[in-house]
């Protein structure tokens, strides 16, 4: 039986705060902010419920399922985790076992379903479709028979749909209907997240290609030219944000400006330079998060706290995860020396 502190550390690493902040949290906040701007106010309770569902589905359901599938295929067998890319490696590090992760994912799915039913009863049953879509995406991303993340263009299709659903679902929860601007916000922000996902896969090409079954991501299929594919997604995101700034609200100029920075990082990074990819990926993450949450704060000032929360949580996550990874590496080295014996 694993000690409680190790289990808690494993759960913290498994949630992976930075991807959750970038994807579901920022997407839901952005959709909510646009709805509040359009309506002149909104439902704080509905926003908090949406965020909770997003965190449960992405942080615990999707990440747990993905961790188990990648462990079984062999792509996550390397016990030396990276803070941003490469997965949490909680199984390889011995912090959590596959069974514990499976129970964690199942409990989170049940909690998300319960909250989803509450949201549907309070704000409209159409939200059930969004919830079912999010749950399906979380599970089918890596589980058979779909295994979307193991197929070229599959992982990004599921990621795009889920992020678009976070933006538009949050808007529908607040307004009861979907606007063209909200749909475009979803397209722009989801495209930026897909571009980041492609960069995320650069350093995983080797382990992914050696996995069984092979994890043939689009980046594995395309190799170095995959950077142009990521750039195309980043360009779509920037074009959408620029159109929103011109036609919907000048606040989207903040999103457009920071997505332009992200596009530059995508266009100049060397996919074969691990240190460069790590720096560029962190820059893309910060640009996307700051652009989305900064725009949300301008559209709906009461949501400015979300930007402050992210500004605190991102460096905290980097610091805590870095310390945890170093401690785990030191522990593995000590155990290896003990097994080797004297001499």
- Residue 128 CB-half CA count within 13 A: 8
Query: Residue 150 and residue 143: Cα distance in Å, rounded?
Result: 9
Residue with tokens 């995860």: 321
Report in angstroms the alpha-carbon separations of 199 from 178, 225, 273. 31, 12, 12
Give the pLDDT confidence of 10-68 residue by residue, as tens digits. Answer: 788 888 899 999 999 999 999 999 999 999 999 999 999 999 999 999 999 999 999 89
Asked if residue 56 lies in contact with residue 115, where contact means CB atoms within 8 angstroms, the answer is: yes
pLDDT at position 29 is 98
Higher pLDDT, 109 or 90: 109
Give the pLDDT confidence of 142-178 residue by residue, as tens digits. Answer: 988 899 999 999 999 999 999 999 999 999 999 999 9
Q: Where are the domains of the chain?
A: 4-298
Give the global pTM. 0.92
Residue 332 has pLDDT above 70, yes or no: no
pLDDT at position 328 is 66
The architecture (CATH level 2) of 4-298 comes to: Orthogonal Bundle (1.10)
Query: Residue 100 and residue 97: Cα distance in Å, rounded?
Result: 5
Report in angstroms the alpha-carbon separations of 314 from 191, 269, 318. 22, 22, 6
pLDDT at position 2 is 54
Token pair in block for residue 174: 């607040």
To the nearest whole percent, how much of the chain has pLDDT over 90? Answer: 71
pLDDT confidence band for 82 (50 / 70 / 90) = low
pLDDT confidence band for 327 (50 / 70 / 90) = low
Phi, psi of 73 (to 5 degrees): -80, -20
Give the pLDDT confidence of 264-313 residue by residue, as tens digits. Answer: 999 999 999 999 999 999 999 999 999 999 999 999 999 999 999 999 99
């Amino acid at each position: 039986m694993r000690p409680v502190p190790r289990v808690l550390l494993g759960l913290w690493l498994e949630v992976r705060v930075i991807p959750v902040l970038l994807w579901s949290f920022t997407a839901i906040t952005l959709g909510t902010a646009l709805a509040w701007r359009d309506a002149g106010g909104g439902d704080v309770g509905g926003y908090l419920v949406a965020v909770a569902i997003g965190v449960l589905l992405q942080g615990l359901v999707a990440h747990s399922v993905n961790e188990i599938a990648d462990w079984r295929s062999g792509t996550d067998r390397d016990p030396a985790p990276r803070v941003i890319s490469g997965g949490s490696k909680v199984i390889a590090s011995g912090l959590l076992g596959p069974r514990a992760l499976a129970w964690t994912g199942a409990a989170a799915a049940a909690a998300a379903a319960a909250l989803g039913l509450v949201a549907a009863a309070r704000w409209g049953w159409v939200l059930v479709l969004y919830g079912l879509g999010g749950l399906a995406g979380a599970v089918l991303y890596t589980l058979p028979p779909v295994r979307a993340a193991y197929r070229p263009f599959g992982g990004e299709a599921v990621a795009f749909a889920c992020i678009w659903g976070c933006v538009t679902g949050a808007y529908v929860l607040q307004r009861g209907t979907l606007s063209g601007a909200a749909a475009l916000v979803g397209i722009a922000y989801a495209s930026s997240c897909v571009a980041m996902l492609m960069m995320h896969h650069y350093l995983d090409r080797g382990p992914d290609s050696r996995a069984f079954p092979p994890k043939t991501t689009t980046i594995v299929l395309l190799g170095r030219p995959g950077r142009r594919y990521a750039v195309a997604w980043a360009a779509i995101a920037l074009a959408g944000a620029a159109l929103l700034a011109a036609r919907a609200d000048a606040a989207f100029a903040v999103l457009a400006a920071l997505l332009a920075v992200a596009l530059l990082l995508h266009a100049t990074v060397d996919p074969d330079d691990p240190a460069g990819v790590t720096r560029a990926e962190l820059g893309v993450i910060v640009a996307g998060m700051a652009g989305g949450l900064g725009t949300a704060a301008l559209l709906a000032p009461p949501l400015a706290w979300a930007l402050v929360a992210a500004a605190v949580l991102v460096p905290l996550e980097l610091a805590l995860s870095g310390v945890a990874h170093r401690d785990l590496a030191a522990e593995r080295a000590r155990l290896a020396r003990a097994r080797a014996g004297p001499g």
